[in-house]
Amino acid sequence: MPGVIIVDDEVGARRGLRRLLEAHDDVRILGEAENVAAAKDLLAEATPDLVFLDIEMPGGNGFGLLEALRPETKVIFVTAHSHHAVKAFEVDAVDYLLKPLDPDRLATALLRARQRVEAAAVRPPRYNRDDHLTLRDGRRTFVVPIRKIVALEADGDLTRFLISESKPLLISQTLGRFAKILPDPPFVRINRSLIVNLDKVEALENTSRNASLLFLQGNEKPIGLRRITATRLREALGLGR
């Protein structure tokens, strides 16, 4: 089982979750954080495969941590509030646990996390740049040259394809599935919600200290990026920070 970090502003909640996790021999707890800022500091030192994340915390909503996580990092939300559940699954959470935690429910969530980690380790053959991708949208089937794919955006369990000289396609498959089969490079997953074709990057414009606009060939509207994501893109392009 992967290494785990716990992010929760309540000391008692962190202590209780740690105690429950310690009953699972294959779980390695790498650290704890009391808020989003502290979690980002922890992530500079630790590389977790799974994060247990509270949502409503002083100084920052738990969703604000997601961009700082590696795209492959799994997330289980742990919260006292049920009304964030839809958004949690839109960002591809493994599970959504309500406080107080039930040990059996936690065990089920851990099993799901294990299955996702194991599935991610199995890598199907990747396509080549000159291949075509067959995409099904309801009753219609599209054959798309991979070179024409500009970017892919997650939309819950769906994926939106931005394609040169064509309208966007919304496909009933997850972004993670395409991250495994598209050629890398030029396709790079720069956060949990976006895969970019580096060959289609025209410009990256800083609009503030913490935000940038990404301009892509064949895409009319620029894509807004936060600082961490823009930094990852620059590194993928060999531009440094």
| 160-172 residue pLDDT tens | 999 998 899 999 9
Mark whether 27 and 136 lie in a shared domain: no
Question: What's the Rg (C-alpha) of the chain?
Answer: 19
Residue 224 confidence class, pLDDT cut points 50, 70, 90:
very high
- For the segment 1-41, what is each residue's pLDDT rounded down to a tens digit? 679 999 999 999 999 999 999 999 999 999 999 999 999 99
**What is the tens place of the pLDDT at every residue in 89-135?**
888 899 999 999 999 999 999 999 998 888 777 777 889 999 999 99
Rounded to whole angstroms, what are the CA distances from 220 to 84, 121, 167?
32, 36, 11
Q: Same domain, yes or no, for 86 and 8?
A: yes
**Is 126 among the domain residues?**
no
Q: Which domain holds residue 148?
A: 132-236
Q: Is the pLDDT of residue 43 over 70?
A: yes
Q: What is the pLDDT of residue 177?
A: 87
Report the alpha-carbon distance of residue 168 to residue 58 in Å, rounded: 38
In this structure, is residue 65 part of a structural domain?
Answer: yes
Q: Does pLDDT of 77 surpass 60?
A: yes
Determine contact, residues 150/219, Cβ cutoff 8 Å.
yes
Pair 83, 174 in one domain: no
| 18 in Cβ contact with 24 (< 8 Å) | no
What was the pLDDT predicted at 241? 55
Average pLDDT of the chain, as a whole number? 91
* Phi-psi group of 80: left, alpha or beta (phi > 0 → left; psi -120 to 50 → alpha; rest → beta): alpha
Cα 154 to Cα 70, 104, 223: the distances in Å are 15, 31, 13
User: Can you give the pTM of this predicted structure?
Assistant: 0.76
Between CA 84 and CA 204 the distance in angstroms is 32
CB-based contact 97:106 (threshold 8 Å): yes
Q: Mark whether 75 and 22 lie in a shared domain.
A: yes
Report strand pairing: 211-216 vs 223-226: antiparallel
Q: Which of 102, 121, 140 is the last residue of a domain?
A: 121
Domain match, 55 and 154 both? no
When divided into structural domains, the chain yields a total of 2
105 and 162 belong to one structural domain: no
Confidence of residue 190 (pLDDT cuts 50, 70, 90): very high
- The CATH number for 56's domain is 3.40.50.2300
Q: For residue 189, give the CATH number of its domain.
A: 2.40.50.1020
Say whether pLDDT at 240 is over 80: no
Please tell me the predicted confidence (pLDDT) of residue 89: 84
From residue 89, how far is each of 33, 64, 67, 98 by CA, in Å? 23, 15, 15, 14
- The answer to whether residue 210 scores a pLDDT higher than 90 is no
Write down the pLDDT at residue 144.
95
Q: 92 in the Ramachandran plot: left (φ > 0), alpha (ψ -120 to 50) or beta?
A: left
Boundary-marking domain end, from 121, 156, 191: 121
Q: Say if residue 65 is in the same domain as residue 17.
A: yes
241 within some domain = no
Domain boundary among 96, 121, 146: 121
* Same domain as 99, residue 17: yes
Kindly state whether residues 139 and 218 are assigned to the same domain: yes
Q: Specify the DSSP element, H or E, that contains 208.
A: strand 201-208
pLDDT at position 55? 96
